[in-house]
Amino acid sequence: MSLPVDKALRKAQSHIKAGELAEAEELYKQVLSKFPKNKKAIQEYQKLKAGIPSKGLSSSEPPKEKVQELMSLYNHGQFDEVLSKAKPLISLFPKIIVLHNLVAAANSGLKNFDQAIESFYNVLALNSTDAMAYFNVGTIFFEKEEFDEAIENYHKCLAINPNHAEAYDNMGSALKAQGNLTAAVEQFTQAINLKPNFAQAHYNLGVVLQKKGNLSEAIKSYEKACQIKPNYFKSYLGIGNTLKEQGKVDAAIDNYKQAIKIKPDYTDAYYNMGNVLKDKGEVDAAIDSYDKALKIKPDYADAYYNMGIVLLGKGELDAAIDSFKQTLKIKPDYAEAYSNMGNALLDKGELDAAIGSYKQALKIKPAFADAYYNMGNVLKDKGEVDAAIDSYKQATKIKPDFVEAHLNMGSTLKDKGDLDAAIDSYKQAIKIKPDPAAKHLLTSLTGETTKAAPREYVEDLFDQYAAKFEHSLIENLEYQTPKIITDMIIKRHSSKALGSVLDLGCGTGLAGLELRQFCENLDGIDLSEAMLRQARAKDVYDKLIHGDIAEHLAEADLDFDYFISTDVFIYVGELSDIFKLIKSRNKRPAKLVFSTEHAEGKDFYLEKSGRYSHSKNYIEGLCIKYGYHLSHFEKTKLRKDKGEFLTGGLYLLDFDPAE
């Protein structure tokens, strides 16, 4: 630099007046390169960079237009610009609180939380009684999930300003996040006492009351939030969720719809409505709701997961697997998605792949009792009984009251021939829960014969079995009874026109597929809704009824030519009521055709399998008692069991209506 410092600074000012800012900046840089501590050069250079004129303004405050510019930038979300333009201003005006607040807010907006806290501490260094600074620091700590620090700063805010309702509200949210629900209720209540029309506090109080199980009061809080703020969509979601817990599913759906009406892109409302529809059994509507959530938020892992659950229940296994894969693409550590994908692979018969999926779930979540249980089921299906038993033991070790694991372990031990250990497992299940299935299976091992398997046992068995029923029965067990029994009927029916037929225990509709072409009308009834869904998909029945066979026979208007039942009486045992009801209530001469697991002897018997076998003598006795004529009987290979065919009995009975 050739000029003396004073002359250089004066010349820089001349350049500024002439609008030659680049030349002025270069002179200041030259001065500062030789005299870096020159206060005047530093100050003037900073003013130049901040765009502040050198004359006509107080040196203690920044120009109002500069502060307004920063505020405008902040309000438009241009946080980086705020930081860039505020830095030189703070160098010139280090004691101006609004500048520190703007820098703190911009850093917070950029998730630069530590820098934001530092700026708010600068505010507090200038004014230790600034309640809002403590409030803002608390809010940043809350976002960082450092809840103790958040609560500490809210307390400091309230020590200065005891009427700060928002601080009470935020402190309640921090306490809720820590699980301290009772203290959270106190804080939200205090916020409402200070500010009765504080909609957010009413909503937050509703959330905590719902978590505490105080559902009626929760709804009141949500409704109050809606009264204050009619478009408060979150409150409608809260009301819907609470009504769902109360079992008021239709009212819940109405509230989800209201939330969506206010906020059409409200993914959580679509998702929660999907969950309610799923629970109602309206599976297609549930899938549609999940789809809408995913169109708005394509990375919604839980929506993909629950859609997978619904598709799995429908038996759409490939689609279910795709949904679980999408879930895992978004959230790779979603152990439950791996476990349920394993269930879908199991239902497809891909047993090794299913085991691989369960192992992946356990790698993520080692104490995952359901994954061990499900893997035990696959190993049982593969015939690896020792490995299956070990998996069930792992499940019960993690979850000692896992009734289903004790039950399936008992069944596996029974298959292994270890009957004493099986009895112990069933007894353990009954000790945990007086479960009808456990009692039935235990009875089957003690030599006692009951009249029928419990309804709950049969319904649950086939609800779980529905998706893999046909693959397992036809492919693995070589089951052909529906075809065989249809052929037997047609051979003995000259016109091959069967008239009106009732399929008792229609299951997935295998018999319906064989019979449809010969029927004028075909109705079906089954205890398992999951099995009926499979039957509906075949579109061969004129009418399908969900219910108990005996109850239906006792109540319905019976006017059929044929009553047909394949592999159903193996879960009934005592057939007297069914024979009596059909004979006494049907309006026309008809035939009763059915299959049994065949037994020698004079009665029916509860086998160790938990199923019933019937002797020909027993059926003949019923025919005599209730007025049926045994037109045909033959033995058949019913299906495989442990690699060997079970012997079945096929019966065709004629009867006239009761007089």
**469-514 pLDDT per residue, tens:** 777 777 777 788 999 999 999 988 877 789 999 999 999 999 999 9
Residues in the chain: 659
First to last CA, the chain: 128
How far apart are alpha carbons 655 and 658 in whole angstroms? 9
User: Which residues of the chain are under the pLDDT cut of 50?
Assistant: 55-58
Q: What is the pLDDT of residues 581-631, one digit of tens each?
A: 999 999 999 999 999 999 999 999 999 889 999 999 999 999 999 999 999
User: How far lies 465's CA from each of 306, 312, 372, 451, 523, in Å?
Assistant: 20, 12, 19, 23, 22
The predicted model scores a pTM of 0.71
Cα 39-45-47 angle, rounded to 5 deg:
105
The pLDDT score that the predictor gives to residue 73 is 84
pLDDT of residue 28: 59
Q: H helices then E strands: how many in the chain?
A: 33, 9
- Listed in sequence order, the residues at least 6 apart from 286 whose beta carbon sits closer than 8 Å to its beta carbon are 274, 275, 277, 278, 306, 307, 310
Please answer whether residues 84 and 73 qualify as being in contact, where contact means their C-beta atoms are separated by less than 8 angstroms.
no
Cβ proximity of 102 and 86 under 8 Å: yes
DSSP character string of 162-198: TT-HHHHHHHHHHHHHTT-HHHHHHHHHHHHHH-TT-
CA distance 108 to 618: 82
Structure confidence at residue 265 (pLDDT): 96
CA 312/CA 340 separation, integer angstroms: 8
Q: What angle do CA 509, 526, 639 make, to 5 degrees?
A: 55
Q: What is the pLDDT of residue 103?
A: 86
What is the pLDDT at residue 16? Answer: 58
Q: For residue 409, give both structure tokens.
A: 């372990």
Q: Burial, 63: exposed, middle or buried (Cβ in 10 Å; 0-12, 13-18, 19+)?
A: middle
Q: Enter the DSSP assignment of 495.
A: T
- Gap between the Cα atoms of 544 and 50, Å rounded: 80
CB atoms within 10 A of CB 624: 10
Alpha-carbon distance of 315 to 292, in angstroms, equals 22
Q: Quote the CA–CA distance of 70 and 597 in Å, as a whole number.
A: 86
Tokens of 350: 């891909």
Q: In 3D, which of 445, 472, 468, 441 has the Cα closest to residue 454?
A: 441
